[in-house]
A and B are shown apart, each in its own frame.
Chain A
Amino acid sequence: DAMVIQNPRYQVTQFGKPVTLSCSQTLNHNVMYWYQQKSSQAPKLLFHYYDKDFNNEADTPDNFQSRRPNTSFCFLDIRSPGLGDAAMYLCATSSRAGVTNEKLFFGSGTQLSVL
C-alpha cells in the first residue's frame, strides 16, 4: 500500500564516500521533492522536479545532486558526504503543481549516518 517508497531505511556511509538514496512512487505524481531534516527541525527543501524540470534551492550545496530518470523514480546523490550531512532525507510527491492546494505525500525517509 505504500505510495512513496524510500530505500534504504537506514544508510551508513563513510566521510567522503559517495552515497545514493532512492525514492519511488506509485501515485504518478508529476512533482517530486527532496527534503533534509535534522533532529526534529523543519524539513529543508533541497530541490524538486516538476516532471523533468529540475529546480534547485539557492542554498543547496553543490555536493547534493539529483536524478529523475522517469516519473516513478528519483535519486539523491551526495558526492562527498560530510559529518554535517548526517540527517533524515525525506522524499515527497504532489500532483498538479499548478494547483497550490495539493497536499504532499511523504515517504518514510532514509536516515543517513556519516562515519
Chain B
Amino acid sequence: AQSVAQPEDQVNVAEGNPLTVKCTYSVSGNPYLFWYVQYPNRGLQFLLKYITGDNLVKGSYGFEAEFNKSQTSFHLKKPSALVSDSALYFCAVRDTRGSYIPTFGRGTSLIVHP
C-alpha cells in the first residue's frame, strides 16, 4: 500500500522569504515521489520528481525538493518566494513494488503575501 500526507492545509509566506511545503509518504518498496502545482481553475502541472540518486531534486520555477529516506519525507522548497507562486501544491507517490497509479496528497494551499 502507498500513501502520502500533506500535514498543512495552508502555508503563508512573505514574498522574498524561503518557503517549505511538507510531504511525508509511506510505501512498501522504494518511492517515486512527485510534486505538482495547480493554479486556479487549471489542471495540475508537473514540478519535479525523485526517482533515485541525489536527495536534492531541482525542478521548474526555481523549486526544489529534498528526499529524506529516514524521515520518509519529500518537502518542497524555494529559497525566495514570489507572489506568483501562490497556488495549490500536491505531493504524489508511487511504490516501486506497486501499481503505476500515483497516490496524491490532499494538497497544500500556498499563499505568498506581497
Question: Are A40 and B49 in contact, CB atoms less than 8 angstroms apart?
Answer: no
Complex Cα spacing A106 to B99, Å: 19
Q: Which of B41, B44, B94 contacts A106 (CB 8 A)?
A: B44
Complex Cα spacing A102 to B49, Å: 9
Rounded to whole Å, the gap between the CB of A7 and the closest CB of chain B is 13
Question: Are B100 and A100 in contact, CB atoms less than 8 angstroms apart?
Answer: yes
Seen from chain B, the residues whose Cβ lies within 8 Å of a Cβ on chain A are 32, 34, 36, 41-46, 49, 51, 88, 90, 94-96, 98-102, 104-107, 109
Q: How many A-B residue pairs have CB under 8 A?
A: 60
Q: Which of A45, A108, A111 contacts B101 (CB 8 A)?
A: A45
Complex Cα spacing A43 to B91, Å: 11
Rounded to whole Å, the gap between the CB of B8 and the closest CB of chain A is 13
Seen from chain A, the residues whose Cβ lies within 8 Å of a Cβ on chain B are 4, 6, 31, 33, 40-43, 45, 48, 88, 90, 92, 94, 97-109, 111
Question: Are A40 and B109 in contact, CB atoms less than 8 angstroms apart?
Answer: yes
Question: Are B106 and A103 in contact, CB atoms less than 8 angstroms apart?
Answer: no
Question: Are B104 and A42 in contact, CB atoms less than 8 angstroms apart?
Answer: yes
Assuming the contacts A100-B32, A101-B94, asked whether A107 and B101 have C-beta atoms less than 8 A apart, the reply is: no
Question: Are A42 and B100 in contact, CB atoms less than 8 angstroms apart?
Answer: no
In the complex, which residue of chain B has the Cβ closest to the Cβ of A48?
B101
Rounded to whole Å, the gap between the CB of B12 and the closest CB of chain A is 15
Question: Are A90 and B101 in contact, CB atoms less than 8 angstroms apart?
Answer: no
Question: Are A101 and B32 in contact, CB atoms less than 8 angstroms apart?
Answer: yes
In the complex, which residue of chain B has the Cβ closest to the Cβ of A45?
B101
Rounded to whole Å, the gap between the CB of A66 and the closest CB of chain B is 15
Q: Which residues of B contact A48 (CB under 8 A)?
A: 101
Closest 8 CB pairs of A and B: A106-B43, A42-B104, A106-B44, A103-B46, A42-B106, A100-B94, A101-B51, A97-B100
